[in-house]
Amino acid sequence: MTQTFDSIRNDILKHNFVPIYLLMGEESYFIDELTDLLEKNVLTETEKDFNMQIFYGVDSDVKAIISTARRYPMMADHQLIIVKEAQELDHFEVLDSYAKNPMPTTVLVLNYKHGSVDKRKSVVKSIDKTGIIFESKKLYENQIPAFIKSFFQQKSIGIEEKAAQMLTDFVGNDLSRLVQELQKLEIALPENQKRITSEVVEKNVGVSKDFNNYELLRAVAEKNIFLANRIVNYFDKNPKDNPIMVTISVLFGYFSNLLECYWLSNKSEQNVMNALNLRSSFMARDYMSGLKNYGVNKVMDIISLLRTYDAKSKGIDNVSATHGDLLKELIYKIMH
Protein backbone atom coordinates (compact mmCIF):
# COMPACT_ATOMS: atom_id res chain seq x y z
CA MET A 1 0.00 0.00 0.00
CA THR A 2 1.10 3.57 -0.70
CA GLN A 3 1.65 5.75 2.36
CA THR A 4 2.98 9.16 3.30
CA PHE A 5 6.41 9.81 4.79
CA ASP A 6 4.93 10.73 8.17
CA SER A 7 2.66 7.67 8.42
CA ILE A 8 5.53 5.30 7.51
CA ARG A 9 7.84 7.09 9.95
CA ASN A 10 5.31 6.78 12.78
CA ASP A 11 4.76 3.06 12.14
CA ILE A 12 8.51 2.40 12.11
CA LEU A 13 8.91 4.20 15.43
CA LYS A 14 6.12 2.00 16.84
CA HIS A 15 7.95 -1.07 15.46
CA ASN A 16 5.08 -1.85 13.09
CA PHE A 17 7.13 -3.25 10.21
CA VAL A 18 6.07 -4.75 6.87
CA PRO A 19 8.00 -7.37 4.84
CA ILE A 20 8.89 -5.06 1.92
CA TYR A 21 9.48 -1.32 1.57
CA LEU A 22 9.79 0.07 -1.96
CA LEU A 23 11.15 3.60 -1.48
CA MET A 24 11.37 5.30 -4.85
CA GLY A 25 11.35 8.74 -6.46
CA GLU A 26 13.29 11.87 -7.34
CA GLU A 27 13.88 13.17 -3.79
CA SER A 28 16.66 11.12 -2.20
CA TYR A 29 16.37 12.81 1.21
CA PHE A 30 13.10 11.12 2.27
CA ILE A 31 14.29 7.74 0.96
CA ASP A 32 17.50 8.00 3.02
CA GLU A 33 15.58 9.17 6.10
CA LEU A 34 13.23 6.18 6.08
CA THR A 35 16.08 3.76 5.40
CA ASP A 36 18.11 5.16 8.31
CA LEU A 37 15.03 4.93 10.53
CA LEU A 38 14.53 1.26 9.64
CA GLU A 39 18.22 0.55 10.22
CA LYS A 40 17.97 2.05 13.72
CA ASN A 41 14.68 0.39 14.71
CA VAL A 42 14.34 -3.08 13.16
CA LEU A 43 17.36 -4.59 14.93
CA THR A 44 19.41 -3.88 18.02
CA GLU A 45 23.13 -3.26 17.55
CA THR A 46 23.86 -6.81 18.76
CA GLU A 47 21.31 -8.36 16.40
CA LYS A 48 22.77 -6.56 13.36
CA ASP A 49 25.90 -8.73 13.36
CA PHE A 50 24.00 -11.78 12.06
CA ASN A 51 20.77 -10.30 10.74
CA MET A 52 21.55 -7.26 8.60
CA GLN A 53 22.72 -7.42 5.00
CA ILE A 54 23.35 -4.50 2.61
CA PHE A 55 23.36 -4.99 -1.16
CA TYR A 56 24.22 -2.45 -3.86
CA GLY A 57 22.20 -2.62 -7.06
CA VAL A 58 25.12 -2.04 -9.41
CA ASP A 59 26.94 -5.25 -8.40
CA SER A 60 24.22 -7.45 -6.89
CA ASP A 61 22.23 -10.38 -8.22
CA VAL A 62 18.46 -10.46 -7.73
CA LYS A 63 18.47 -14.20 -7.05
CA ALA A 64 21.07 -13.74 -4.29
CA ILE A 65 18.90 -11.05 -2.68
CA ILE A 66 15.84 -13.32 -2.81
CA SER A 67 17.80 -16.27 -1.39
CA THR A 68 19.03 -14.10 1.50
CA ALA A 69 15.53 -12.72 2.11
CA ARG A 70 14.14 -16.26 2.49
CA ARG A 71 16.44 -17.08 5.40
CA TYR A 72 15.28 -17.05 9.01
CA PRO A 73 16.74 -14.55 11.47
CA MET A 74 19.26 -15.71 14.08
CA MET A 75 18.33 -14.96 17.69
CA ALA A 76 16.14 -12.03 16.61
CA ASP A 77 12.56 -11.40 15.50
CA HIS A 78 13.60 -10.04 12.10
CA GLN A 79 16.39 -9.87 9.59
CA LEU A 80 16.96 -6.61 7.71
CA ILE A 81 18.04 -6.47 4.07
CA ILE A 82 18.73 -3.10 2.45
CA VAL A 83 19.23 -2.83 -1.31
CA LYS A 84 20.81 0.55 -2.05
CA GLU A 85 20.67 2.10 -5.54
CA ALA A 86 18.09 -0.52 -6.52
CA GLN A 87 17.49 1.34 -9.79
CA GLU A 88 20.84 -0.15 -10.94
CA LEU A 89 19.69 -3.70 -10.25
CA ASP A 90 19.48 -5.92 -13.34
CA HIS A 91 16.16 -7.79 -13.72
CA PHE A 92 14.44 -5.88 -10.91
CA GLU A 93 11.13 -7.41 -11.99
CA VAL A 94 12.36 -10.88 -10.88
CA LEU A 95 11.68 -9.71 -7.31
CA ASP A 96 8.01 -10.25 -8.13
CA SER A 97 8.29 -13.94 -7.26
CA TYR A 98 9.43 -13.04 -3.74
CA ALA A 99 7.07 -10.06 -3.34
CA LYS A 100 4.05 -12.31 -3.87
CA ASN A 101 4.97 -14.42 -0.84
CA PRO A 102 7.58 -12.61 1.31
CA MET A 103 9.04 -13.95 4.53
CA PRO A 104 7.16 -12.35 7.45
CA THR A 105 10.39 -12.26 9.50
CA THR A 106 12.35 -10.39 6.82
CA VAL A 107 12.28 -6.63 6.30
CA LEU A 108 13.44 -5.97 2.73
CA VAL A 109 14.14 -2.31 1.89
CA LEU A 110 14.48 -1.35 -1.77
CA ASN A 111 16.04 2.09 -2.35
CA TYR A 112 15.10 3.07 -5.90
CA LYS A 113 16.40 6.61 -6.45
CA HIS A 114 16.24 9.24 -9.23
CA GLY A 115 13.03 7.82 -10.66
CA SER A 116 10.22 5.36 -10.04
CA VAL A 117 9.41 1.81 -11.05
CA ASP A 118 6.60 1.58 -13.61
CA LYS A 119 3.49 1.06 -11.47
CA ARG A 120 1.96 -1.14 -14.17
CA LYS A 121 4.61 -3.80 -13.54
CA SER A 122 3.61 -6.93 -11.69
CA VAL A 123 6.39 -6.54 -9.13
CA VAL A 124 5.02 -3.14 -8.04
CA LYS A 125 1.48 -4.51 -7.77
CA SER A 126 2.75 -7.42 -5.65
CA ILE A 127 4.69 -5.13 -3.32
CA ASP A 128 1.61 -2.92 -3.03
CA LYS A 129 -0.30 -5.93 -1.62
CA THR A 130 2.33 -7.30 0.77
CA GLY A 131 4.40 -4.24 1.70
CA ILE A 132 4.60 -0.47 1.44
CA ILE A 133 5.33 1.75 -1.55
CA PHE A 134 6.55 5.28 -0.91
CA GLU A 135 7.05 7.71 -3.77
CA SER A 136 9.46 10.47 -2.77
CA LYS A 137 8.68 13.62 -4.73
CA LYS A 138 10.68 16.83 -4.96
CA LEU A 139 9.15 19.62 -2.90
CA TYR A 140 8.19 22.85 -4.61
CA GLU A 141 9.91 25.92 -3.21
CA ASN A 142 6.64 27.19 -1.71
CA GLN A 143 6.57 23.97 0.38
CA ILE A 144 10.06 24.48 1.79
CA PRO A 145 9.18 26.93 4.63
CA ALA A 146 6.68 24.37 5.99
CA PHE A 147 9.35 21.64 5.75
CA ILE A 148 11.79 23.86 7.69
CA LYS A 149 9.18 24.58 10.34
CA SER A 150 8.34 20.87 10.69
CA PHE A 151 12.03 19.94 10.93
CA PHE A 152 12.53 22.26 13.89
CA GLN A 153 9.17 21.44 15.50
CA GLN A 154 10.30 17.83 15.91
CA LYS A 155 13.20 19.20 17.94
CA SER A 156 10.99 21.59 19.95
CA ILE A 157 12.56 24.60 18.22
CA GLY A 158 10.60 27.47 16.68
CA ILE A 159 11.59 29.56 13.68
CA GLU A 160 10.53 33.01 12.48
CA GLU A 161 8.64 33.16 9.18
CA LYS A 162 11.24 35.55 7.82
CA ALA A 163 14.10 33.25 8.84
CA ALA A 164 12.44 30.28 7.12
CA GLN A 165 11.95 32.31 3.95
CA MET A 166 15.56 33.52 4.01
CA LEU A 167 16.72 29.89 4.13
CA THR A 168 14.34 28.94 1.32
CA ASP A 169 15.58 31.73 -0.93
CA PHE A 170 19.22 30.97 -0.12
CA VAL A 171 19.17 27.16 -0.49
CA GLY A 172 16.09 26.39 -2.58
CA ASN A 173 14.56 22.89 -2.64
CA ASP A 174 17.80 20.90 -2.40
CA LEU A 175 16.77 19.11 0.81
CA SER A 176 20.09 17.42 1.50
CA ARG A 177 21.90 20.77 1.45
CA LEU A 178 19.05 22.47 3.31
CA VAL A 179 19.10 19.94 6.15
CA GLN A 180 22.84 20.49 6.56
CA GLU A 181 22.14 24.21 7.07
CA LEU A 182 19.29 23.45 9.50
CA GLN A 183 21.50 21.14 11.53
CA LYS A 184 24.15 23.86 11.60
CA LEU A 185 21.58 26.29 13.01
CA GLU A 186 20.42 23.75 15.61
CA ILE A 187 23.98 23.29 16.88
CA ALA A 188 24.61 27.04 16.88
CA LEU A 189 21.62 27.85 19.11
CA PRO A 190 22.53 28.68 22.72
CA GLU A 191 21.11 26.16 25.22
CA ASN A 192 18.53 28.57 26.59
CA GLN A 193 17.32 29.67 23.14
CA LYS A 194 14.65 27.67 21.34
CA ARG A 195 13.86 29.94 18.39
CA ILE A 196 15.65 30.54 15.10
CA THR A 197 15.61 34.23 14.20
CA SER A 198 16.74 36.05 11.06
CA GLU A 199 19.79 37.22 13.05
CA VAL A 200 20.73 33.60 13.80
CA VAL A 201 20.40 32.72 10.10
CA GLU A 202 22.50 35.72 9.08
CA LYS A 203 25.26 34.87 11.54
CA ASN A 204 25.48 31.13 10.82
CA VAL A 205 24.38 30.65 7.21
CA GLY A 206 25.89 33.74 5.65
CA VAL A 207 22.77 35.30 4.16
CA SER A 208 22.11 38.93 5.09
CA LYS A 209 18.93 39.54 7.08
CA ASP A 210 18.53 42.94 5.41
CA PHE A 211 19.76 42.27 1.88
CA ASN A 212 18.18 39.10 0.52
CA ASN A 213 15.51 38.02 -1.96
CA TYR A 214 12.82 38.06 0.69
CA GLU A 215 13.50 41.74 1.52
CA LEU A 216 13.81 42.61 -2.19
CA LEU A 217 10.44 41.01 -2.91
CA ARG A 218 8.87 42.93 -0.04
CA ALA A 219 10.38 46.21 -1.29
CA VAL A 220 9.09 45.55 -4.80
CA ALA A 221 5.62 44.64 -3.51
CA GLU A 222 5.48 47.84 -1.47
CA LYS A 223 7.02 49.88 -4.31
CA ASN A 224 9.79 51.01 -1.98
CA ILE A 225 12.17 52.11 -4.73
CA PHE A 226 14.90 53.34 -2.38
CA LEU A 227 15.11 50.03 -0.47
CA ALA A 228 14.88 47.93 -3.65
CA ASN A 229 17.80 49.85 -5.18
CA ARG A 230 19.89 49.39 -2.01
CA ILE A 231 19.31 45.63 -2.09
CA VAL A 232 20.03 45.35 -5.82
CA ASN A 233 23.28 47.29 -5.36
CA TYR A 234 24.23 44.90 -2.56
CA PHE A 235 23.48 41.93 -4.84
CA ASP A 236 25.67 43.49 -7.53
CA LYS A 237 28.61 43.61 -5.09
CA ASN A 238 27.97 40.06 -3.81
CA PRO A 239 26.95 38.12 -6.94
CA LYS A 240 28.07 34.67 -5.72
CA ASP A 241 25.70 34.77 -2.74
CA ASN A 242 22.88 36.34 -4.76
CA PRO A 243 22.65 34.72 -8.21
CA ILE A 244 20.26 36.51 -10.57
CA MET A 245 18.55 33.24 -11.59
CA VAL A 246 17.35 32.73 -8.01
CA THR A 247 16.12 36.33 -7.74
CA ILE A 248 14.20 36.08 -11.02
CA SER A 249 12.69 32.76 -9.93
CA VAL A 250 11.49 34.30 -6.64
CA LEU A 251 9.99 37.31 -8.43
CA PHE A 252 8.39 35.11 -11.08
CA GLY A 253 6.73 32.95 -8.43
CA TYR A 254 5.42 36.02 -6.63
CA PHE A 255 3.97 37.80 -9.68
CA SER A 256 2.49 34.56 -11.07
CA ASN A 257 0.65 34.08 -7.77
CA LEU A 258 -0.31 37.74 -7.69
CA LEU A 259 -1.90 37.38 -11.12
CA GLU A 260 -4.14 34.62 -9.73
CA CYS A 261 -5.36 37.01 -7.03
CA TYR A 262 -6.92 39.37 -9.56
CA TRP A 263 -9.47 36.72 -10.57
CA LEU A 264 -10.73 36.39 -6.98
CA SER A 265 -14.16 37.93 -6.48
CA ASN A 266 -13.25 38.56 -2.84
CA LYS A 267 -9.70 39.87 -2.46
CA SER A 268 -9.63 39.89 1.34
CA GLU A 269 -6.47 38.76 3.10
CA GLN A 270 -8.09 35.50 4.23
CA ASN A 271 -9.36 34.77 0.74
CA VAL A 272 -5.90 35.40 -0.73
CA MET A 273 -4.38 33.07 1.88
CA ASN A 274 -6.87 30.33 1.01
CA ALA A 275 -6.45 30.74 -2.75
CA LEU A 276 -2.64 30.61 -2.61
CA ASN A 277 -2.52 28.03 0.20
CA LEU A 278 -0.54 30.39 2.44
CA ARG A 279 -0.04 29.37 6.05
CA SER A 280 0.01 32.80 7.69
CA SER A 281 -1.10 36.41 7.27
CA PHE A 282 2.61 37.28 7.41
CA MET A 283 3.04 35.60 4.01
CA ALA A 284 -0.15 37.18 2.62
CA ARG A 285 1.02 40.70 3.41
CA ASP A 286 3.18 41.00 0.28
CA TYR A 287 0.26 39.96 -1.93
CA MET A 288 -2.03 42.54 -0.37
CA SER A 289 0.66 45.18 -1.08
CA GLY A 290 1.01 43.92 -4.65
CA LEU A 291 -2.74 44.14 -5.28
CA LYS A 292 -2.65 47.72 -4.07
CA ASN A 293 0.43 48.83 -6.04
CA TYR A 294 0.21 46.92 -9.35
CA GLY A 295 -2.63 46.60 -11.84
CA VAL A 296 -3.37 43.34 -13.60
CA ASN A 297 -1.99 44.59 -16.96
CA LYS A 298 1.23 45.71 -15.29
CA VAL A 299 1.60 42.30 -13.63
CA MET A 300 1.25 40.56 -17.00
CA ASP A 301 3.89 42.90 -18.43
CA ILE A 302 6.18 42.11 -15.47
CA ILE A 303 5.83 38.36 -16.02
CA SER A 304 6.83 38.89 -19.65
CA LEU A 305 9.78 41.05 -18.50
CA LEU A 306 10.94 38.33 -16.11
CA ARG A 307 10.97 35.77 -18.94
CA THR A 308 12.98 38.18 -21.11
CA TYR A 309 15.57 38.92 -18.43
CA ASP A 310 15.85 35.25 -17.49
CA ALA A 311 16.85 34.60 -21.12
CA LYS A 312 19.26 37.57 -21.10
CA SER A 313 20.92 36.28 -17.91
CA LYS A 314 21.68 33.09 -19.87
CA GLY A 315 23.30 35.03 -22.72
CA ILE A 316 20.35 35.22 -25.10
CA ASP A 317 20.20 38.64 -26.84
CA ASN A 318 22.81 39.90 -24.39
CA VAL A 319 26.39 40.61 -25.41
CA SER A 320 27.97 42.57 -22.58
CA ALA A 321 25.54 43.37 -19.73
CA THR A 322 26.55 41.87 -16.37
CA HIS A 323 24.03 40.12 -14.13
CA GLY A 324 24.15 43.16 -11.84
CA ASP A 325 23.32 45.49 -14.73
CA LEU A 326 20.47 43.25 -15.85
CA LEU A 327 18.96 43.09 -12.37
CA LYS A 328 19.13 46.87 -11.90
CA GLU A 329 17.45 47.35 -15.27
CA LEU A 330 14.81 44.73 -14.50
CA ILE A 331 13.88 46.17 -11.11
CA TYR A 332 13.67 49.66 -12.59
CA LYS A 333 11.26 48.49 -15.29
CA ILE A 334 9.15 46.54 -12.76
CA MET A 335 8.74 49.50 -10.43
CA HIS A 336 8.22 52.28 -13.00
- What CATH number labels 213-335? 1.20.272.10
Q: Which CATH number fits the domain 141-205, given the four candidates 1.10.8.60, 1.10.260.40, 1.10.3470.10, 3.40.50.1370?
A: 1.10.8.60
* Fold of domain 5-136: Rossmann fold (3.40.50)
| pLDDT confidence of residue 2 | 66
| pLDDT confidence of residue 136 | 93
| pLDDT confidence of residue 165 | 86
Distances in Å between the alpha carbon of 325 and those of 79, 235, 241?
61, 11, 16
Residue numbers in the chain where pLDDT is lower than 50: none
| pLDDT confidence of residue 43 | 96
CB 269 within 8 A of CB 222: no
pLDDT digits (tens, 9 = 90+) for 107-161: 999 999 989 998 889 999 999 999 999 999 998 887 888 899 999 998 899 999 8
pTM of the entire predicted model: 0.72
Exposure pattern of 103-114 as b/e (b: 16+ CB <10 Å)? bebbbbbbbbbe
| Cβ-proximal residues to 270 (8 Å cutoff; 6+ apart), any chain | none
HSE of 232, CA atoms in CB hemisphere, 13 A: 24
Side-by-side strand order, sheet with 132-136: 52-56, 79-84, 106-113, 20-25, 132-136
| pLDDT confidence of residue 281 | 74
| Cβ-proximal residues to 276 (8 Å cutoff; 6+ apart), any chain | 257, 260, 261, 284, 287
| pLDDT confidence of residue 297 | 95
Domain boundaries along the sequence of the chain: 5-136, 141-205, 213-335
